Structure 1
């Protein structure tokens, strides 16, 4: 059932009753003299009573639409979670929506009939404040889940980073989002926190990942030769390893003169975001082997001390 179907379903019975009531009211007020027909009860067909009936019918339509909307989409969202907490929340929202709408409609009717509603409004305000304070986290998480489903910053199976948490999305519920970290731990994050955080999605716009591997060589090494070796290792990884892409091609850069080393950066592209460690393991192993073959020293931190007499 789509939203337009819900609208038509909500208008079905109330619209029929409204047409019948409107026809009766027009007949009584414009064709027949209400005072002669109803006597002291002529006020029952007054404009105030007709407006009150219209408000009640409108409340019927709105409450039916909101109830069916929450039932359809709320239960659909809740069905995607493993626990039944979200199902209970949806049931509470269904009842609360109806009661709130009908309460507002009754207040409007009483005010139209010139009944003092100040005590009711004051009591409802206090009760509403208490409920709002108690349920603000639940409501904020529910709307946060709706924002995530509408905006779609990630999907189930994507690898994302939210604050300090890095992992794969397992489920997106109306109350929380669950990710499985690289340490195989399940992290449950409230949707209100997710919707207000900066999210890094490693699966968008596609699953390939740019990997930057820092490499250091000792002072005195041939810079051009080191870069050539790094490019050769990158091309070899793309040709022999199933983890590395040949397009974009690997690239190497001499970045800076370090405190104890010449610092380079090898840039290589992995086929998928979950292969970063495999690529780094392969490349680092080959760098160690090739540097040993070429006689290039891999430096370690050192300090030169000069003693003056």
Structure 2
């Protein structure tokens, strides 16, 4: 046991071997216990963070456990400075790579759960988000590894920064659309299948890509919007409407008796309340128009479906026409009164007015 081999006794070597094996066994057991415990916890909770943690822990590599065990054992030995530096750097590099693997696995599990894999458009967006996040993660890990190996990364970071600025200026429009796509994916102002109105255009969202979003209009043609331009526009998402507010009005002609005018608002209230999926708001004699007495009705349709709204509105109009016919009250139509004067009367009137302004005519002279 007292024999010396490579500046360490046999007992030291055996101790280092025992520490290495013990460390590897301990790390393996910790991995198993954590995965088991978190797996049980993940089944009891609705949050997905614990599932992501389980997926990341399962990605722990045996090679990493082996390297960490050997490094723990090497700390017992009296190694030359070069060998000691090598083992330390090897352990740090291995740990950084394992951290990158954990992050990559966790990111992939989160994206798979958050965006799903059924919808091609969402899968494309998820792939874009994952690619950018993994690129940033591995770039940071690579810089940390190079710094640990003694490489001066200051010049490299500066070069990457200058190159990044140049590339960003060259493709700023593409990058603007790309980040706008990420904003759409994360903020979700709309998803595939939603019916939206963008300025004067309207249609169903058909595809959300890295640069463009495409709608299928009511006329059948495809509308293509730049993602950046789409986020700058005022957008109405009709699919997320929970109820629809309806305002409509009509007029009855002048000469309708006051008693009949008073009977019309209760009549409108009755017609609206008789319909299913409606919530009555108000019905009023709203004012006197150029050619009619005007009435206004407001109610809510408790459904975002446009066809449901149109069916209800149609039935209300038809019953309203029947009830007004019973009251012998027609709907008013636009009328205009035209007053016509004889031009000769106007000319005569103008002469009389001029004569009145000049005063009475002078008397004729008396005879001599």
**TM-score, normalising length from structure 2?**
0.60
Partner of 2:251: 216
**Residue pairs, 1:51-200, within 5 angstroms:** 51-70=92-111, 73-74=114-115, 76=116, 79-81=118-120, 90-91=126-127, 94-129=130-165, 130=167, 133=172, 134-148=174-188, 161-166=197-202, 169=204, 173=208, 187=223, 193=230, 197=234, 199=236
Per the alignment, do residues 123 and 289 of structure 1 end up closer, same or farther by CA in structure 2, a change over 3 Å counting? Answer: same
Query: C-alpha displacement at 1:109, in angstroms?
Result: 2.2
In 2, the alpha carbon distance for the partners of 1:289 and 1:184 equals: 38
Change (3 A) 1:10 1:297: closer
Q: What root-mean-square deviation, in Å, do the aligned CA atoms of Structure 1 and Structure 2 show?
A: 4.2
Number of residues paired by the alignment?
Answer: 288
Matched, 1:23 2:54: no
- In the alignment, which of 76, 79, 87 is matched to residue 45 of structure 1? 87
Point out the more displaced range, 97-106 or 188-197.
Answer: 188-197
Q: Report the 3-state secondary structure (helix = DSSP H, G, I; strand = E; otherwise coil) of the residue aligned with 2:242.
A: coil
Aligned equivalents of 1:218, 1:73: Cα separation in 2: 60
For residues 235-285 of structure 1, give each alpha carbon's deviation from its aligned partner in whole angstroms, at most 9, with x where no partner exists: 35765xxxx338635742011222332221123454644233344444444
Deviation, structure 1 residue 217: 2.1
Matched with 1:32 is 77
Q: Contact (CA 8 Å) 2:256, 2:329: kept in 1 or not?
A: no
Contact 1:253/1:264 (<8 A) preserved = yes
User: CA separation of 1:276/1:112 partners in 2, compared to 1, >3 Å: closer, same or farther?
Assistant: same
Offset of residue 220 of structure 1: 3.2
Question: Aligned partners of 2:245 and 2:129: how far apart in 1?
Answer: 45
Q: 1:231 to 1:93 in 2, by over 3 A?
A: same
State the match for 2:336 in structure 1. Answer: 302
Counterpart CA distance in 1 for 2:265 and 2:220 is 33
Match of 2:263 in 1: 228
Q: Does structure 2 retain, via aligned residues, the 8 Å contact 1:59–1:105? A: yes
Q: Distance in 2 between matches of 1:283 and 1:68?
A: 53
Q: 1:189 to 1:107 in 2, by over 3 A?
A: same
Secondary structure of residue in 2 paired with 1:116: coil
Residue 99 to residue 268, structure 1, CA distance change in 2 (3 Å) = closer
In structure 2, the gaps of 5 or more residues are 1-41, 43-47, 350-368
TM-score, normalised relative to structure 1:
0.69
Structure-2 separation of matches of 1:172 and 1:141: 11
Which one has a bigger Cα radius of gyration?
2
1:272-303 deviation per Cα after TM superposition (whole angstroms, max 9, x unaligned)? 44233344444444545554551446141425
**How many angstroms apart in 2 are the aligned matches of 1:246 and 1:115?**
71
Q: 2: distance between equivalents of 1:9 and 1:105? A: 20
| Structure 1 residue 211: Cα displacement | 2.2
Please report how far the alpha carbon of residue 214 of structure 1 lies from its aligned counterpart in structure 2 after TM superposition.
Answer: 0.6
Between stretches 291-300 and 261-270, larger displacement belongs to 291-300
**SS in structure 1 at match of 2:260:** helix
State the distance in 2 between where 1:138 and 1:259 align.
Answer: 55
Q: Report 1 or 2 for greater relative contact order, CA contacts < 8 Å, sequence distance ≥ 6.
A: 1
2:298 equivalent among 255, 267, 277: 267
Q: Structure 1: where are the runs of 5+ without partners? A: none
